[in-house]
Amino acid sequence: MSQHEERYYRRRIATSQFTTIISITLVLFLMGLLGLIILHARILSDYVKENIGFSIMIREDVKEAGILELKKNLDGQYFVKSSEYIPRNRAAEKLKADLGEDFVGFLGYNPLLPSIDLRIKAPYANADTLRGIEKRLLAKPEIKEVFYQKSLVDAINSNLEKISIILLGFSGILLFIAIVLINNTIRLAVYSRRFIIRSMQLVGATEGFIRRPLLLRSILHGLISAFIALLMLMMLTYFAIEEIPELVELQNPLMR
């Protein structure tokens, strides 16, 4: 083989290796991006659901010690994520700030009842479960009324179901693209070395001997591609948080 042909085949092999690394990097980047989308969608779904809560109005004759005991009891319930006790004077200050008027001075007394704001864990934030929780709360003698936005719960669950279907379809498309890219990458890698493989077969090389350097090179290409894809995902996450700071609230400690 002349030096010109040798340089030509070396250039072809180098181009093939570069193409292989780029293809695998794109595959890993797409799969990583899909994983981030699904993970953040699940965290966002839980975040939205856990902001659905009850406003529990306490009877006027219940002492503060009884309210605190009730709050402690509610905190121990399996469906409760968090609770907050709002005394009458604090509720009046909040309503005064919202209205921009001193309604207590106008009326001469504070008509608001003490309350407990209850946040529900995400798995229990659906219409049927919330109705059951509402009945369970109303059965307690200290509780006068329970409020929560039923229409908002239905709207959130409906929209989350639609988003899940869209993500599922998008996941299927990305998976198909990944399979096609991997298949084409393998075919290109073997095709670019077809003459070398044929020459090795003619001199009696075994399949294991022929396959070994290809596997080692593929592992190296995979590690390089994984490193590049990881850097791309980290940069994408960084710039996304820079543009949308609220995404920090969705970061799971295991992801940091």
Burial (CB < 10 A; 0-12, 13-18, 19+), residue 207, is exposed
Whole-number pLDDT of residue 109 = 63
| Residue range(s) in the chain whose domain bears CATH number 3.30.70.3040 | 53-148
8 Å CB contact between 153 and 126: yes
Whole-number pLDDT of residue 227 = 92
Start-to-end Cα distance in the chain: 54
In the chain, DSSP finds a helix count (H) and a strand count (E) of 8, 4
Alpha carbons 18 and 68: distance in angstroms, whole number: 67
8 Å CB contact between 89 and 147: no
Q: Which residue type sits at 86?
A: I
8 Å CB contact between 236 and 32: no
- The β-bridge partners of 240 are none
Range 80-95 burial, b when 16+ CB lie within 10 A, else e: bbebebbebeebbeee
Whole-number pLDDT of residue 121 = 85
8 Å CB contact between 229 and 32: yes
**What fold is seen in the domain 53-148?**
Alpha-Beta Plaits (3.30.70)
**CA-CA-CA-CA torsion sign (84, 88, 89, 92):** positive
Whole-number pLDDT of residue 183 = 72
61: which DSSP letter?
A: T
**Tokens for 246?**
């609220």
| pLDDT tens over the chain, length 256 residues | 456 655 665 676 667 677 777 877 887 887 788 778 777 777 777 777 777 777 888 888 888 888 888 888 888 888 888 888 888 777 777 766 766 676 666 666 666 778 888 888 888 877 788 888 888 888 888 888 888 777 767 777 777 777 778 877 877 787 787 677 767 766 776 776 777 777 777 887 777 777 777 778 778 877 888 899 899 988 988 887 777 766 666 665 444 4
Alpha carbons 94 and 113: distance in angstroms, whole number: 13
Alpha carbons 63 and 122: distance in angstroms, whole number: 31
Contacts of 129 by beta carbon, 8 Å cutoff, 6+ apart = 79
